[in-house]
Structure 1
Amino acid sequence: MAGHSDNDLGLPSFDKPVKVAIVIAPYYTSISEAQLAAARGVLDAADVAHETIEVPGSLEVPTAIGIAHRMSNFDGFVALGCVIRGATSHYDVVVNESSRALTMLGLQGICIGNGIITVETRDQAEERADGGRLNTAGGAAEAALHLIALTRSYGAPKGALGFKPRGTIEIADGSSQA
Structure 2
Amino acid sequence: MAEKEYSLPRASFDKPVKLLIVVAPFYRDIADNLIAGAKAEIEASGGTWDLVEVPGALEVPTAIGIAERLSNFDGYVALGCVIRGETTHYETVCNDSSRGITMLGLQGLCIGNGILTVENRAQAEVRADPAAMNKGAGAAAAALHLIALTRKWGASRKGVGFIPEAQEYKLAGELKDNPKA
Note whether the superposition's TM-score is higher than 0.5: yes
User: Kindly tell me: are residues 100 and 123 of structure 1, through their superposed partners in 2, closer, same or farther at Cα, counting changes over 3 Å?
Assistant: same
User: Kindly tell me: are residues 7 and 68 of structure 1, through their superposed partners in 2, closer, same or farther at Cα, counting changes over 3 Å?
Assistant: same
1:132 partner letter = A
1:101 partner letter = G
Which residue of structure 2 aligns with residue 106 of structure 1?
105
**Residues 1:164 and 2:166 are matched in the alignment:** yes
Which residue of structure 2 aligns with residue 137 of structure 1?
136
Which residue of structure 2 aligns with residue 116 of structure 1?
115
Matches of 1:22 and 1:82 in 2, distance apart?
A: 14
Matches of 2:4 and 2:147 in 1, distance apart?
A: 20
Matches of 1:27 and 1:83 in 2, distance apart?
A: 9
What is the Cα deviation at residue 134 of structure 1?
A: 1.0
Give runs of aligned pairs for residues 86-101 of structure 1, distance below 5 A.
Answer: 86-101=85-100
| Structure 2: stretches of 5+ with no match in the other structure | 168-181
What is the Cα deviation at residue 162 of structure 1?
A: 8.0
Q: How many residues align?
A: 163
**Residues 1:152 and 2:151 are matched in the alignment:** yes
**Residues 1:40 and 2:42 are matched in the alignment:** no
What is the Cα deviation at residue 11 of structure 1?
A: 1.1
SS of the equivalent of 2:131 reads coil
What is the Cα deviation at residue 135 of structure 1?
A: 1.1
Matches of 2:94 and 2:164 in 1, distance apart?
A: 33
**Residues 1:83 and 2:82 are matched in the alignment:** yes
Report the aligned-residue RMSD: 2.2
User: Kindly tell me: are residues 5 and 110 of structure 1, through their superposed partners in 2, closer, same or farther at Cα, counting changes over 3 Å?
Assistant: farther
Higher helix share: 2
1:62 partner letter = P
1:104 partner letter = M
Matches of 1:19 and 1:63 in 2, distance apart?
A: 19
What is the Cα deviation at residue 155 of structure 1?
A: 2.1
What is the Cα deviation at residue 38 of structure 1?
A: 0.6
User: Kindly tell me: are residues 54 and 5 of structure 1, through their superposed partners in 2, closer, same or farther at Cα, counting changes over 3 Å?
Assistant: farther
Matches of 1:118 and 1:94 in 2, distance apart?
A: 9
SS of the equivalent of 1:123 reads helix
Which residue of structure 2 aligns with residue 168 of structure 1?
none
TM-score, length-scaled by structure 1: 0.85
SS of the equivalent of 1:154 reads helix
2:166 partner letter = K
Instruction: Give identity over the alignment, percent.
Output: 59
Matches of 1:108 and 1:59 in 2, distance apart?
A: 19
TM-score, length-scaled by structure 2: 0.84
Runs of 4+ in 1 over 6 A off after TM superposition: none
